[in-house]
Structure 1
Amino acid sequence: MINFIGTYECKIDDKGRLKLPSSLAKQMESYAGESFVVKRSVFQHCLEVYPMQGWEKLMTKINKLNRFNKQNADFIRTFTAGLKTVEPDSAGRLQISKDLTAFANLTKEVVITSAGELFEIWDKAAYEEVIAASQQDFAMLAQQVMGDISFDDEN
C-alpha cells in the first residue's frame, strides 16, 4: 500500500471529468488495473478516493459490525451512500458522478490533496477556507494527536 503525496490544483469540466495531474497519475500506476472507490467524506464536504485494496481492507473492518444493531446499520448505509468505482480513462481523467460532484460542491477549480493511502478531491475555495481555519489550531491538534506517539522503529 503506497501513500499518496502532493497537493494539486486542477480543473473539472461540466461533465464531471477531472483531469489528473501527471505526478498523481504516475503514483496511481502502482495500482495498475485496479479500480478506485470514490465516496463522500464523513467530516467535510469533499470526496475521498481509495485504491480498491485500501477500500476492501476498510470494508473488511466495517463488515464485522453487527447489522442487527440499528446504529451500525444506519452508519453502514450512510457511510457507503453514493459510492462509485472509477478508473482513469485513456486521457488521464476520472469521471466524477453528478451526485458526488454536487455533494462536494465541485465547480471548475478543484484541489486534489493526499491523505495517506487515499486522496481527497475538494472545491478549491472550500479547501482554502478549511486550511486557513485549521492553521490557527494545527499546533494544538498536532500535539494532541501526535504528542504521545513513540517514533521508535521497534514499537
Structure 2
Amino acid sequence: MINLIGTYECKVDTKGRFMFSSAFKKQLSDVLLNGFVIKRSVFQPCLELYPMEEWNLVMCKIHKLNRFVKKNDDFIRRFTAGVKMLEVDVSGRLLIPKNLCLFAGISKQIVLSSAVNIIEIWDKERYEKVIDDTVVDFADLAEEVMGNIEDVDELS
C-alpha cells in the first residue's frame, strides 16, 4: 500500500503538461514505470492521480459490483467518466488531458496534494479557497471523523 506525503505547487504549460514533483517521484520510484490513471474527483472540483497499483485495487472493488443493479451501473459509468492512463515522459512531465483541465478549472498554477494513496491535482486558486473554507469547520470534522476511534493507541 502506498502512503504519499506532501503538497507541491507546479506550473502547467499551454498543452496541460507539468513537471512531476521530484518528491513524489522518489516516493513512487517503485511504481513510476507502471504509469498512472487520472480521473475526475467524485466530491471536489479537482483531479485524482492514481498510481496504477492503487487504481487496480479500486478496480477489484468495482468488479465486485453487480452491473444488473442500476445504481451500480450508474456509479461505474460516472466514476470512470473521463478516465485516462498517463505516463511520465522522458522530461519528467505528465500531460493532463484538455477535458480534465476544463473540469478542474486548471490554468497556469496547480497544487499536487497527497491524499493518502493518491495525488489530488487542483487549480491553485481553487485549492486555496477549499482549504480556507474548511479551516473553520476542520476541528469539528477532525473530532467527528477521528474522535470516535476506540483504540487511540493505534493512531499514535
- After TM superposition, the score normalised by the length of structure 1 is 0.95
Q: Which amino acid aligns with 1:94?
A: L
Asked if residue 138 in structure 1 is aligned to residue 117 in structure 2, the reply is no
Q: Does the CA-based 8 Å contact 2:37-2:55 persist in structure 1?
A: yes
Q: Measure the CA separation in 1 of the matches of 2:39 and 2:89.
A: 19
Q: Gapped runs of 5+ residues in structure 2?
A: none
Residues 7-53 of structure 1, C-alpha deviation per residue, up to 9 Å, x if partnerless?
Answer: 00111111010111221222221213211110100000100011111
Q: Does the CA-based 8 Å contact 2:66-2:72 persist in structure 1?
A: yes
- Structure 2 counterparts to residues 5-154 of structure 1, below 5 A: 5-149=5-149, 150-153=151-154
Residues 83-118 of structure 1, C-alpha deviation per residue, up to 9 Å, x if partnerless?
Answer: 011111111111110111111010101100000010
Q: Which amino acid aligns with 1:31?
A: V
**4+ residue stretches of structure 1 with deviation over 3 A?**
none
- After TM superposition, the score normalised by the length of structure 2 is 0.94
Q: Measure the CA separation in 2 of the matches of 1:9 and 1:117.
A: 18
Q: Gapped runs of 5+ residues in structure 1?
A: none
- Over the residues paired in the alignment, what is the CA RMSD in angstroms? 1.0
Q: Which moved more, 1:138-147 or 1:20-29?
A: 20-29
